[in-house]
Structure 1
Amino acid sequence: MAGKRSIFEDVGAGGAVPAAPAGGMIGARGTGARRGIRAWLAVLFLLVACMIAVGGLTRLTDSGLSITEWRPVTGALPPLDDAAWAVEFAKYQASPEYQLQNKGMELSEFKTIFWWEWGHRQLGRVIGLVWVVGFVGFLVTRQIPAGWTGRLLGVGALGGLQGAIGWWMVSSGLKGEMVDVASYRLATHLGIAFVILGLIAWYVFLLGRSEAELMQARRGREVKLFGMTTGLMHFAFLQILLGALVAGIDAGRAFPTWPDMNGQFFPADAFYVPNGMWWQAFFENPGLVQFIHRMSGYLLFAFGVVVWLRGRKSPHGITRAACHMVLAMLVAQVALGIFAALTAAQVHVAITHQIGAVVLWVLIIRARHLAQYPVAGSIRKGTQ
């Protein structure tokens, strides 16, 4: 029988010290090098964003068909002497673009468009190399957090697919009487680039907090706002694809007026396609393609205002600020689109409009993330 104990005796005194409580299941999962992987993904994000801008400039300068072969490895080396330049130029001279549009082009002019396309492809190789080195390094050192291997591998797989689609796009302009790539293939190529960019941005946002913090934040998610920002994200993606169709057939240069289209609300001969079916007008008629892009832009802006009205009621200050930024960028992007139309898509205006699409895309994704994983404010710090 145990002896009497003093009421002042510490509980457990003289006995075994109880073990500290074990961490929860979330904390028990491998955390890995979340900060390092986030930095690596941030570098990839910047590279992909630059890739989109360079790709836009390649299209605007009509440089995309200057390299007529797909050589993922050996193509990394540009022509190094006059003989090599003569060979590359001869290949281009056999292409429909040269025969039908650029006949008589000098070698010096060819070099200009060649360097744009070569730089575009070279940047793609750099992105692939950065992904491989980072992924393999984190994988070998077992620094990838639990549940993240598939996500990071998926980014690389999409990047590889993007390279193949890039050649699929270019090849469409090297046969028949094509002097540009097929607009729907250009839209596919640009669309996948934005998917990759969006995934990387989402992962960077997720890795900014621990799994435990995300789980806690998710309990306070704003379901309605999350659904609305998801819809806005999808709508913005559709508008990006429509913008690619406009760029693919130079539709942005055909109607340099606003709000009308050369004096009309709906362009004349909108469904006319030489030697084609009426449904092809949705991809090949400049008037119809630009009209759809304009109308979609107006609707996207209206829906963005609705989302902003809902977002400004959020109880979280950071979420409200994120929605304000989306609306501000949406206004700027509409203005840039109008300016691009009025200037017949001058290169500097058109590329600014495309970069604006990248900024708007990421801001929408950020607002969506904060609706799903809100950051609680503090009354004491004035961040409520």
Structure 2
Amino acid sequence: MSTLTFAGQSAARRADDRAVGAWLLAVCGMIFAMAVIGAITRLTESGLSIMEWAPVSGVLPPMSQAEWERIFALYKQTAEYRELNAGMSLAEFKTIFWWEWVHRLWGRLIGAVFLAGFLWLLLRGKLRRGLTPHLIALFVLGGLQGALGWFMVASGFAERTDVSQYRLTLHLGFALAIYAYALALAIRLRWPSAPASADAAGVRRGLWAFAGLVAVTIVAGALVAGLNAGMSYNTYPLMAGEVVPANYGVHAPWWLNWFENVAAVQFNHRLLAHLTVVAGLALWVWGCFARLSEEARRALAWLALGSLGQLVLGVVTLLAVVPVWLGAAHQAGAIVVLSLTIWALSRVRAPGVGAAGV
């Protein structure tokens, strides 16, 4: 894929880049909100309330009592209704329906805002050379994410009372990959002038390793959500009075515990969260002694602070047995840490590396 260069740019070109960057930041904000709405949808057990995938007609909610009854009748066919919500009234069903409907509508709005903005900027000649392929890729990935969302939801229509934790993890991970891609582009366009630092090369390698750790921790958190693992072992720092829960390895083959054992999945997420904080603090200390610009040092400080804050928020969420608002806040915190990582990568620049290189 083509790369972006920023050498020899005119004032008009910079103004165009800022406009494109602002539009991409708005899209990132919408994706951020989408992830939080998705967390609420999951936590309120609303995700299986709409049994049809209607990309066009589904924009409108049921407009008559007969249509409400039809949609409710479809939901009654699920194992979730039979085993968990038998006897639910239509009024109660509407509560979970609206969360899922808003989640799907917001996804459509993201696509509309992205496409409208892209076409307007393209026709106005504001897109720099090399940027268009990136934007087309983002739009295609967004469409695939919508299909992946339905693939996830469909996993709960048979004998399960919820969606597959594997598909949920894939859906969330794909969404955040799109978010990270768009945010990195927005930063390069909006804030390209990062001062070079003599010791930045080594710190950047550490930051890339940290980014990988953040990604794995988020994936582990998605598995926790998919298995409702946060509803168990609601103590800290021990789990059922032990450092490692006794039933960590009850499944065979052993590696299956990492994906299907509630105790193992929660323990792994705890461990990874603590490692993320340690790594974030280590990067900050490294930055304090390395020859870095003040901007780079501030970025590392915010990254360490964000990682620590996310750990505290996670512990509070666990001890409170994951109320909806705290669970949603914890997912938002994960995206904040991801965003701070991308920002730090854009600010820690080695000599000879292009400005805002992420």
Who is 1:294 aligned against? 270
CA RMSD of aligned residues (A): 2.2
Q: For 1:325-362, what per-residue CA distance to the aligned partner results, in whole angstroms no more than 9, with x for missing partners?
A: 11111111111111111111122221111111111111
Q: Structure 2 CA distance, aligned partners of 1:28 and 1:354?
A: 38
Contact 2:197/2:293, CA 8 A, preserved across alignment: no
Equivalence map 1:212-361=2 (5 Å): 217=195, 222-272=200-250, 278-313=254-289, 314-361=291-338
The secondary structure found in structure 1 opposite 2:52 is: coil
Who is 1:11 aligned against? none
TM-score (normalizing by structure 2): 0.91
User: Displacement, 1:219?
Assistant: 8.4
Return closer, same or farther for 1:349/1:26 CA change in 2, 3 Å cut-off: closer
Who is 2:168 aligned against? 186
The secondary structure found in structure 2 opposite 1:157 is: helix
Counterpart amino acid of residue 245 in structure 2: P
Who is 1:366 aligned against? 343
Counterpart amino acid of residue 292 in structure 1: N
Contact 2:292/2:348, CA 8 A, preserved across alignment: no
Counterpart amino acid of residue 201 in structure 2: V
TM-score (normalizing by structure 1): 0.85
The answer to which of 133-142 and 104-113 deviates more is 133-142
Who is 2:97 aligned against? 114
Return closer, same or farther for 1:300/1:209 CA change in 2, 3 Å cut-off: closer
User: Displacement, 1:220?
Assistant: 6.0
Q: Structure 1 CA distance, aligned partners of 2:82 and 2:104?
A: 24
Q: Structure 2 CA distance, aligned partners of 1:281 and 1:64?
A: 25
What percent of counterpart residues are identical? Answer: 37
Find the partner of 2:8 among 27, 37, 41.
27
The secondary structure found in structure 2 opposite 1:142 is: coil
Q: Structure 1 CA distance, aligned partners of 2:50 and 2:101?
A: 8
Equivalence map 1:70-219=2 (5 Å): 70-175=53-158, 177-209=159-191, 217=195
The answer to which of 238-247 and 318-327 deviates more is 318-327
Who is 2:356 aligned against? none
Who is 1:12 aligned against? none
Q: Structure 2 CA distance, aligned partners of 1:188 and 1:140?
A: 35
Contact 2:22/2:190, CA 8 A, preserved across alignment: no
Who is 2:21 aligned against? 38
Q: Structure 2 CA distance, aligned partners of 1:195 and 1:103?
A: 38
User: Displacement, 1:227?
Assistant: 1.0
Who is 1:17 aligned against? none
The secondary structure found in structure 1 opposite 2:239 is: coil
User: Displacement, 1:25?
Assistant: 9.9
Q: Structure 2 CA distance, aligned partners of 1:46 and 1:125?
A: 14
The secondary structure found in structure 1 opposite 2:8 is: helix
Contact 2:210/2:280, CA 8 A, preserved across alignment: yes
Q: Structure 2 CA distance, aligned partners of 1:141 and 1:193?
A: 29
Q: Structure 1 CA distance, aligned partners of 2:247 and 2:6?
A: 64
Q: For 1:175-204, what per-residue CA distance to the aligned partner results, in whole angstroms no more than 9, with x for missing partners?
A: 1x2011111111111111111111122112
Contact 2:200/2:292, CA 8 A, preserved across alignment: no
Q: Which runs of 5+ in 1 are unaligned?
A: 1-23, 375-384
Counterpart amino acid of residue 298 in structure 2: A
User: Displacement, 1:263?
Assistant: 1.2
Q: Structure 1 CA distance, aligned partners of 2:6 and 2:87?
A: 70
Report the structure number with the largest CA radius of gyration: 1
Counterpart amino acid of residue 175 in structure 2: A
User: Displacement, 1:277?
Assistant: 5.5
Q: Structure 1 CA distance, aligned partners of 2:212 and 2:35?
A: 19
User: Displacement, 1:311?
Assistant: 1.8
Q: Structure 1 CA distance, aligned partners of 2:275 and 2:9?
A: 47
Counterpart amino acid of residue 271 in structure 2: M
Counterpart amino acid of residue 290 in structure 1: Q
Q: Structure 2 CA distance, aligned partners of 1:280 and 1:174?
A: 24
The secondary structure found in structure 2 opposite 1:372 is: coil
| Number of equivalenced pairs | 344
Q: Which runs of 5+ in 2 are unaligned?
A: 352-358
Contact 2:244/2:267, CA 8 A, preserved across alignment: yes
Contact 1:252/1:290, CA 8 A, preserved across alignment: yes
Contact 2:280/2:304, CA 8 A, preserved across alignment: yes
Who is 1:3 aligned against? none
Q: Structure 1 CA distance, aligned partners of 2:43 and 2:89?
A: 20
